[in-house]
Structure 1
C-alpha cells in the first residue's frame, strides 16, 4: 500500500527520510536544551502553512511571544499557526513564583483533556506540534497516567487525520523511552562542542538513511546535510584519460589517469604533490572538463602566486570558467557541509576533483571523528559518479621507511603515485613513481621530478636508483649518475 509523504520543512531531512514524513502518523524529535527542537517543529508547521494546511501548536514550554519571535527571526510563516497554550503565563508565574502550575494537584485533568479535544475539533489541524511532550508528565498524576494520556492523545489525533510531531527534552534523570515506544518515528538531535548531528533510529513503514547526518542552525533556520551515499548520483564513466599535459609524466602512466578513477598522490612535505596534482587539474580544465580544487592546505593567493612562478597556466584555466578553487578554512565547515559541496559539484557536472590534502581535511573540518571513513565515503561517491579524483596525501617521514599513505586509504585508490625526496652527493632530489594502477598498465621505473621556472619537468627512467622502498635509496650506476650530474651542472 502506497503512503503519502509530506515535507518536514527542514532542508535535507526529507532526503534522509526517503521522501519525508508519512501523512497521518507521528514523530518524536528528541534532544538536549539548545539542540533546535522548537525550531525543528516550527519548520514542520510552516511547511504545512506553505502547503495550505492547517497547523496547531500545542505549547507546553516557552511563552507564545517568545516562540513567535523565534519563528520571525528565521523567516518562518507563523501568522496562520493556531496556538493552544498550556505553558504558564507571566501572571501565573508571578503568583506562584514557580512552574508548579503544572503539578497534577493544580490541574483539573478532565477539563484539560476536554479543552484540548475541543481545540482540535474546532481547528481540524492537518499538522500538530506538541512542544515539549515531556512537560505533559506534570499534567498527570503518575507514569501510568502519563503513558495512557499520551497514547490516548495520539490515537485521537490520528483519528482526525493529523500528522503529529512531538518534541522531547530528555536528559539526566528524565527519560523518554516510553514515548519512543509509542510513536511511529524517532529523530534525535545530538549536540557536541564541535558539531551537531541528526539521527533517525525508527521509522515505521519506511526506509531511511541510517547513521549520523550533520545539521546546523543558521540565520536561515535548521539545515541537515545528508551523509554521502556512494552511488546516489551514479553515472556512466566515459572512456578516456586525464592527461597531465607533460609527455614524460603521461608516459609514466602509459597515457594518463583513467577517467573516473581515484588517485592518491602521496609524499612528504615540499616534494611537489600539490603542484603535480594541479598540473592534471589545469590540463583537464583546458581540455574542457569542469574541474574543482578543494584546498585545505594553502590560501588561494599562495597557489596563484606559485603557479605564476613556475609557469603553470592556472589563470587561463580559471578564466575559462572550467576550473574553480574552493578554499576550506579551519572550522568553516562541518564534514556534512563539505560533503554537500562535493554533492553539488557532481550535480553541476564536475568531471575532475582534487582534494588537497588529507592532513588539512582532518584538521579543518568540524565534527570529523573518523578521517579515514569520511575520505573513503567521499572517494567512493566520486568514483561512482564517474569523477576523476586526486587526493593529495601527506606522509610525515621525509626520508626513511616508505609509506604509501598515512590515512590507511590505499584500498580506496585505483591509482597510487608517490613522490619522494632522495639524497645524492649532498643534494636533495625529487623522484616520482607509480605504485598501483588498477585499470591499466604503468611504468615500474622511477623518474626524477623537477619543478622549474618553466613548469614541471619529468626526466627519463632512472634504472640506477634503487632501494627507495627500503628507505635507503642508492644510485648504483656511478657513471650514469655522474653524467647526469654533469649534464645538470652544464644546464645551470
Structure 2
C-alpha cells in the first residue's frame, strides 16, 4: 500500500497472487485480506493483473476464490496440443468461445484467435477453372468450379503434389493469382521438382502470379496457420489456394482426426465464402486400389475428389487416376492410366477399358 500511495500506478501485476495465501494464518484470513486489497485497488480505479498456477492435484479452494473475485479470467495451458489460450470470463464485455493458438517468441506473446466463417452475402454463380491439361480437365468435366474444395487423394509418391501443381500453373498462366502452402517440402524443392517436370512455376513466382509458403507443422498452431493463409489472401486476392499435405496440417493440430476435420471445415468454408478454390492433397494409407476417398473422414468437406492410386499388373505397377466425386457438373467416371514424365509432367493415356477389380488394385487385360 505504501508503494501504491507513492507511485499511484494505473496497473499492478501480482505474480503470483496466491503468494498472499502463505502470509495469512488460515483460509478465512487469506480471503478477507484479498477482498480488502481488491476493494482498495478498485476504489483507486487501478487495474490489477494477478497470476496463479493451477494443478490437477490441488485440494484447496483458493483458485475458486481468485476466480470469484475477478472480472476476467484468462486460462493458459501447455500440453499435447501445444500452448493454448482461452478467455473463460470477461465480465461486461464477453469473449470468443473456445481455445486459441498461443506462441511465445523473441518478439513476445502472440495470440491467434480461432477463425469463424461468416455467411455468404454475394450470389453463388461460380466460373470454371481449368488446369491447362486438356486430358485432366476432360476427366473433370471441363475443370473445377470457382469457390469449391478439391481433395487430391492417394498413397505416397503417386503424384498428388504434381496434380495440384498442374492446377496452380494452369490458373496462374491465365493471369490469375494463386497461393501454395507446402507442409511436406521447401519452396525451393517444390519449384525445382516442378521445373524438372515441365511446369515452370519459377517464372510465375517472378511475375507475382504464384506465391509459395513453406510451412513447418510443429512450429505453428492451426490458428496461426489459418491466420497466415488469411493474411496472404487479403494481400493477394487469389483464385486458388493449394494446401499440400494434410498430414502435415494434422501434425500442427497434434490432436484427433475429428479436430482435423473441424479445423479444415472452418478454414475451407471461410475461403469458399470468398469464392476461392481450395485444393488439398491428402495421403491415404492403402497403396493400391480404393479403400477410402480421403483420410480422417474428411470427404464430406470436398466438392470434388480426384483419386490417384497404383494398379498391380503382371508383377508391375501402373498409376491410375479417377474422379470419385464432383458436386457441380458432370465428370468422366472411368479410371485412366497416367504417367509423370520429365519435361512433360502429368500425362493421361486413356481409361482402363475392362477392369472389374481395379478398385481393389488389380488389373488383368
Q: Displacement, 1:233?
A: 10
Structure 1 Cα separation of the partners of residues 223 and 122 of structure 2: 22
Distance in 2, Cα, partners of 1:232 & 1:327: 30
Aligned pairs for 1:164-183 (under 5 A) are 164-171=48-55, 172-173=57-58, 175-183=62-70
1:49-128 equivalences in 2 (<5 Å): 116=1, 119-120=3-4, 123-128=7-12
Shift of 1:204: 2.1
Structure 1 equivalent of residue 295 of structure 2: 406
Question: What is the aligned counterpart of 2:46 among 162, 165, 179?
Answer: 162
| Rounded Cα–Cα distance in structure 2 between residues aligned with 1:330 and 1:264 | 20
Counterpart CA distance in 2 for 1:231 and 1:416 is 25
Equivalent pair of 2:152/2:307 in contact (CA under 8 Å)? yes
- Identify the residue that residue 243 of structure 2 maps to in structure 1: 355
Q: Which residue of 1 aligns with 2:184?
A: 297
Q: Which residue does 1:378 correspond to in 2?
A: 267
**SS where residue 37 of structure 2 aligns?**
helix
- Measure the CA separation in 2 of the matches of 1:422 and 1:394: 17
CA RMSD for the aligned pairs?
Answer: 2.6
Partner-residue secondary structure (3-state), 1:266: strand
TM-score between the two structures when normalised by the length of structure 1: 0.67
Contact 2:289 2:362 in 1 (8 A): no
Alpha-carbon contact 2:253-2:260 (below 8 Å) kept: no
Deviation of residue 461 (structure 1)?
Answer: 4.1
The separation in 2 between residues aligned to 1:121 and 1:327, in whole angstroms, is 53
1:200 counterpart residue number: 87
Q: Which structure carries more relative contact order (alpha carbon 8 Å, separation 6+)? A: 2
State how 1:217-232 maps to structure 2 within 5 Å.
217-231=104-118
Is the CA contact 1:402–1:468 (under 8 Å) kept in the aligned structure 2?
Answer: no
- On the 8 A contact 2:183/2:216 being kept in 1, the answer is yes
SS at match of 1:161: coil
CA distance in 2, matches of 1:342, 1:233: 19
**Contact 1:236 1:385 survives alignment (8 Å):** no
Distance 1:341 1:377 in 2: 14
From 345, 350, 353, give the equivalent of 1:455. 345
Is 1:279 aligned to 2:279, yes or no?
A: no
- Does the CA-based 8 Å contact 2:246-2:282 persist in structure 1? yes
Distance in 2, matches of 1:374 and 1:355, equals 13
For 1:97, the equivalent position in structure 2 comes to: none
2:226 aligned partner: 339
1:152-181 deviation per Cα after TM superposition (whole angstroms, max 9, x unaligned): 332333333333322213335464111112
Q: How far, CA to CA, are the matches of 2:24 and 2:125 in structure 1?
A: 65
Q: Does residue 150 of structure 2 align to residue 263 of structure 1?
A: yes
SS of match in other structure, 2:192: helix
Q: Secondary structure at the match of 2:300?
A: coil
- 1:333 Cα deviation from its structure 2 partner: 2.4
After superposition, the Cα gap between the structure-2 partners of 1:316 and 1:373, relative to the gap in structure 1 and judged at 3 Å, is same
8 Å CA contact 1:446–1:461 kept in 2: the answer is: yes
For residues 5 and 215 of structure 2, what CA distance do their matches in structure 1 show? 53
2:276 aligns with one of 387, 393, 396: 387
Match of residue 335 from structure 2:
446
Given that residues 274 and 356 in structure 1 are in contact (C-alpha distance below 8 angstroms), is that contact kept between their aligned partners in structure 2? Answer: yes
1:415 to 2:299 alignment: no
Of residues 464, 484, 492, the one that matches 2:354 is: 464
Equivalent residue number for residue 136 of structure 2: 249
Q: Deviations over 1:257-313 (max 9, x none)?
A: 111111111111222111001100122222233222111122333322322222112
TM-score, length-scaled by structure 2: 0.88
* Kept after mapping to 1: 8 A contact 2:154/2:282: yes
Gaps of 5+ in 2: none
Alpha-carbon distance in structure 2 between the residues aligned to 1:304 and 1:234 = 37
**How far apart are 1:456 and its partner, in Å?**
1.8
